Amino acid sequence: MSELRTTLVQCDLRWEDPDANCRMLEETLGELDGDQTDLIVLPEMFATGFTMNSREMAEPMDESPTVAWLRNQAVQRGCVVTGSVAVVEGGDCFNRLIWARPDGSLVTYDKRHLFRMAGEHERYAMGHERVIVELKGFRILLSVCYDLRFPVWLRQQPAPGEHFEYDALLCIANWPAPRRHPWRVLLQARAVENLCPVIGVNRVGEDAKGLGYAGDSMLVDAKGEALIDEPRDLPFVKTGTLSLADLQAFREKFPAWRDADHFTLSDGVGD
């Protein structure tokens, strides 16, 4: 059965300075490549920090230097590299997660839940589609930061006759230190309720407004137990391994999915 080597990159970010952040990340990652990992996970808005200057900082999707950098990193390192970027497309700005594959292809997910307490909903457009990617036999549901607070959006929605829609949940974030407890609890809760591992990567340091970020990046198994847990506000790069065989064995031993409630997810817009 497949194993998925997953690298969490917890780092400080230079405010609204994509060139400096990309250089820093190249140095941070060093010689890390496909011989050591299958997936490198960067924080939300890794090139700029959580900026609300969307019109000034968002890059055209088809001409984005940051998206090109992400693609090149995946190709050169021979593994998937992912993180979110402020992009503009069709006249709208998006907080867009980019899933860059080593063959140069991209999959994208636009953040669904926009953090209104920072005015994100006024500066970025909402995503409407859930996105599941596949890597090393694992189906992975993509999400960004505030999405983590909304269990219905992230809940397993298997097709008729199937037990599971995905095998891991990925959440990248710029989650502030004053709310570090909900971040940690929700990563574990999403794992337990969906019977799947959760990959959570957050930043550290301070942004231009002096808001601090505690990191707390975690790799959590399907029981909600941490495989990687760094409850401190320092940068790190750590790799953990997820086993599909272990996941399937746990799901068979503890088949809570048999008692799950079936539902359909609407867009919240009336007729």
Considering its fold, how many domains does the chain have in total? 1
CATH code of the domain covering residue 173: 3.60.110.10
Identify the band that residue 268 occupies on the pLDDT scale cut at 50, 70 and 90: low
Whether residue 211 is contained in a domain is answered as yes
Average pLDDT, stretch 235-258?
Answer: 96
Whether residue 92 is contained in a domain is answered as yes
Question: So what's the pLDDT on residue 269?
Answer: 46
Question: So what's the pLDDT on residue 30?
Answer: 98
Whether residue 271 is contained in a domain is answered as no
pLDDT digits (tens, 9 = 90+) for 186-196: 999 999 999 99
Does the annotation mark 11 as catalytic? Answer: no
Q: Which of 11, 16, 22, 44 is catalytic?
A: 44
Query: For residue 213, what are the contacts with CB-CB under 8 A and spacing of at least 6?
Result: 174, 175, 176, 177, 202, 203, 204, 205, 206, 207, 233
Cα→Cα distances 243→99, 210, 222, 240, Å: 21, 40, 11, 10
Average pLDDT, stretch 23-34?
Answer: 98
For residue 47, pLDDT beyond 80: yes
Q: pLDDT above 90 covers what percent of the chain? A: 92
Average pLDDT, stretch 112-116?
Answer: 98
**Alpha helices (runs of H) in the chain, residue ranges in sequence order:** 18-29, 54-57, 65-77, 120-123, 151-154, 180-194, 244-253
SS3 229: strand
pLDDT digits (tens, 9 = 90+) for 84-99: 999 999 999 999 999 9
Question: So what's the pLDDT on residue 230?
Answer: 80
Whether residue 111 is contained in a domain is answered as yes
Q: Are the CB atoms for 250 and 242 separated by under 8 Å? A: no
Mean pLDDT rounded to a whole number for the chain: 96
Question: So what's the pLDDT on residue 149?
Answer: 98
Q: Are the CB atoms for 108 and 97 separated by under 8 Å? A: yes
Q: Measured between alpha carbons, how far is 250 from 223 in angstroms, rounded to an integer?
A: 9
Average pLDDT, stretch 56-82?
Answer: 98
Identify the band that residue 232 occupies on the pLDDT scale cut at 50, 70 and 90: confident
Q: Which of 145, 171, 196, 230 is catalytic?
A: 145
Q: Which of 22, 59, 93, 111 is catalytic?
A: 111
For residue 74, pLDDT beyond 50: yes
Q: Which of 22, 30, 23 is nearest to 46 (CA)?
A: 22
SS3 136: coil
For residue 270, pLDDT beyond 60: no
The DSSP letter of residue 179 is: G
Does the annotation mark 22 as catalytic? Answer: no
Q: Measured between alpha carbons, how far is 102 from 40 in angstroms, rounded to an integer?
A: 11
For residue 199, pLDDT beyond 60: yes
Domain of residue 182: give its range: 3-259
Whether residue 270 is contained in a domain is answered as no
Whether residue 141 is contained in a domain is answered as yes
Whether residue 112 is contained in a domain is answered as yes
Q: Pairing between strand 39-41 and 218-220?
A: unpaired
**Alpha helices (runs of H) in 78-170, residue ranges in sequence order:** 120-123, 151-154
Q: Measured between alpha carbons, how far is 58 from 53 in angstroms, rounded to an integer?
A: 8
Question: So what's the pLDDT on residue 262?
Answer: 83
Identify the band that residue 8 occupies on the pLDDT scale cut at 50, 70 and 90: very high
Identify the band that residue 27 occupies on the pLDDT scale cut at 50, 70 and 90: very high
SS3 140: strand
Question: So what's the pLDDT on residue 130?
Answer: 97
Question: So what's the pLDDT on residue 1?
Answer: 60
Whether residue 173 is contained in a domain is answered as yes
The total of other beta-carbon atoms located within 10 Å of residue 119's CB is 12
Length of the chain in residues, anyone? 271
Determine the distance from the C-alpha atom of residue 49 to the mean position of all C-alpha atoms in its chain, rounded to a whole number.
15
Does the annotation mark 111 as catalytic? Answer: yes
Q: Which of 152, 164, 163 is nearest to 190 (CA)?
A: 152
